Amino acid sequence: MINVIGLGYIGLPTALMLATHGIKVIGTDYNNELVSELNEGNITFSEEGLDELLQSALEKGIKFTTAYQSVDTYIISVPTPYDKISKKIDPSFVIEAVKSVLKVCNVNATLVIESTVSPGTIDKYIRPIIEKEGLVIGEDINIVHAPERIIPGNMLYELINNNRTIGADNKMVGERIASYYKSFCKGKIVVTNIRTAEMTKVVENTFRAVNIAFANELLKICRVDDLDVYEIINICNMHPRVNILQPGPGVGGHCISVDPWFLVGDYPSTAKLVNTSMKINDSMPDHVLYRIHQIMKCNNIDDIGRIGLYGLTYKEDVDDCRESPTLQLLESQERHLAPGLKVFDPYVKDDIVKNQYHDFKNFINDIDMVVIMVGHKHLLENMEVLSNKIVLDTRLVCNNLNAYHL
Ligand code: SAJ
């Protein structure tokens, strides 16, 4: 029996996948409402195939609760935010989860930490908590780090097909945990030590952040001389050893825009490229504002209230708004331009910002210029409504030949 702690974007799909592959699973989360929804068969965020997977897992007997269980194996998948000033990890959720597990776990239990943590977190914060309880790691209890690698928008496919890394003090314990993941994972599972596993996860996301920053910087360079950055990237990418990512309105989500800061926070005098890259990505929402301002001037628009931002989520076809470029832009807009931009996102049902619309037609009717912040499928299917609008396309998804770009 496995007790999965934290039923968010990673814990829930992992729990469901294990439960549908012959493993007894109980999911625990401190959010009572979320637990009831799941027990009633309602998914708590949108992801292709998740609904069907929840129904099959319920049929196989998965249960959700707010209580920690007395079992031999725990998978801890709780958030790991970072402190915006020191850039260091805030490990409080993982620490709380471990403390709660220690109160109930069986002797010789294994704690698998799936949450992304900054390199060294387990040595610095988790081992001391366990040792303080008088437990000997490796004898009374085992620790494993099994960072997840799945991408929102294609989570279930990637859960099954991605390779994985498992870090453990003891190879046999690592292999035992690998066998649970092998119940559904067709990818290769490498077993290494905990420090290495921690580092690989953060490095993977940093690699992507730095590459996106390069594309974003290129975009700004090309803007100076009015060159088409997208054509330039396409041609460069025809070279067999060049693969530049897509520039855009900024980098959001809880991973690429967060994890690289751990390296900056812990290695401030060495992680210089990472630091600069993160700053470039963070500057992109302001670059969008600068372009909005330029395009307003060219088209004699003086009312910011006639401009609409399409998309509030951090990327296409997900409902996750954490650290999204649109939210960053709106925050910045409050400081620079008069507030009043209108906003619409088909995936965001709650009111989370000012001037937010829930009806697409009303949104389109009330604006003269649309800024495409996210290329949701919904927009691609409704492109014709943009034909008589001024368009700033930050994602290169619009077929309107007169669209402006970043
Ligand atoms: N973005 C760009 N240009 C690109 C690609 C992405 O501007 O060429 C932007 C997106 O629009 C978004 C942000 O970057 O705002 C991040 O999106 P993403 O699709 O690159 O990544 P995430 O954050 O959804 O998921 C990442 C993945 N990591 C890598 O690809 C190395 C995923 O595999 C990880 O499991 C996940 O982080 C995580 O949980 O750590």
Sign for the CA dihedral angle at 322, 325, 326, 329 comes to positive
- The two three-digit tokens of residue 356, written as one number: 């937010």
Residue 307: inside a domain, yes or no? yes
Residue 113: inside a domain, yes or no? yes
Which has the higher per-residue pLDDT, 289 or 86? 289
Expressed in angstroms and rounded, the spacing between residue 210 Cα and the centre of ligand 1 is 11
Of 130, 162, 192, the last residue of a domain is 192
Region 7-24: what's the mean pLDDT?
Answer: 97
Answer yes or no: do 245 and 154 share one domain: no
Region 12-35: what's the mean pLDDT?
Answer: 98
- The two three-digit tokens of residue 56, written as one number: 């099959």
> What is d(CA 306, CA 370) in angstroms, rounded to the nearest whole number?
9
Answer yes or no: do 265 and 370 share one domain: yes
Strand ranges across the sheet with 25-28: 63-65, 25-28, 2-5, 73-76, 109-113, 141-145, 164-168, 189-192
Q: What are 74-112's pLDDT values in tens digits? A: 999 999 988 888 878 899 999 999 999 999 999 999 999
Answer yes or no: do 131 and 87 share one domain: yes
Expressed in angstroms and rounded, the spacing between residue 107 Cα and the centre of ligand 1 is 39
Q: Which atom of ligand 1 is nearest to the CA of 152?
A: 24
Residue 160: inside a domain, yes or no? yes
- The two three-digit tokens of residue 189, written as one number: 């599972």
Answer yes or no: do 303 and 360 share one domain: yes
DSSP lists the bridge partners of residue 191 as 166
Answer yes or no: do 148 and 276 share one domain: no
Residue 199: inside a domain, yes or no? no
Residue 209: inside a domain, yes or no? yes
Expressed in angstroms and rounded, the spacing between residue 229 Cα and the centre of ligand 1 is 21
pTM of this prediction exceeds 0.85? yes
Of 192, 222, 254, the last residue of a domain is 192
- What's the pLDDT at 1? 95
Give catalytic residues, as residue numbers: 201, 255
β 2-5/25-28 pair status = parallel
Answer yes or no: do 236 and 174 share one domain: no
Answer yes or no: do 256 and 386 share one domain: yes
State the DSSP H helix or E strand holding residue 53, giving kind and residue range, or none if neither: helix 50-59
Expressed in angstroms and rounded, the spacing between residue 371 Cα and the centre of ligand 1 is 21
Residue ranges making up the domain that contains 249: 204-405
The count of structural domains within the chain is 2
Mutation choice for ligand 1 from 243, 257, 315, CB with most ligand atoms inside 8 A: 315
Which residue has the least CA distance to atom 14 on ligand 1? 251
CATH of the domain at 335: 3.40.50.720
Answer yes or no: do 164 and 263 share one domain: no
320 contacts 254 by C-beta, under 8 angstroms: yes
Answer yes or no: do 87 and 211 share one domain: no
> What is d(CA 308, CA 391) in angstroms, rounded to the nearest whole number?
10
Best CA proximity match to 199, nearest among 252, 275, 266: 266
Residues touching ligand 1 (Cβ under 6 Å) are: 116, 148-152, 204-205, 208, 212, 245-246, 248, 251-253, 255-256, 314-315
Of 160, 192, 224, the last residue of a domain is 192
Answer yes or no: do 332 and 185 share one domain: no
Best CA proximity match to 79, nearest among 98, 68, 92, 69: 92
> What is d(CA 89, CA 82) in angstroms, rounded to the nearest whole number?
4
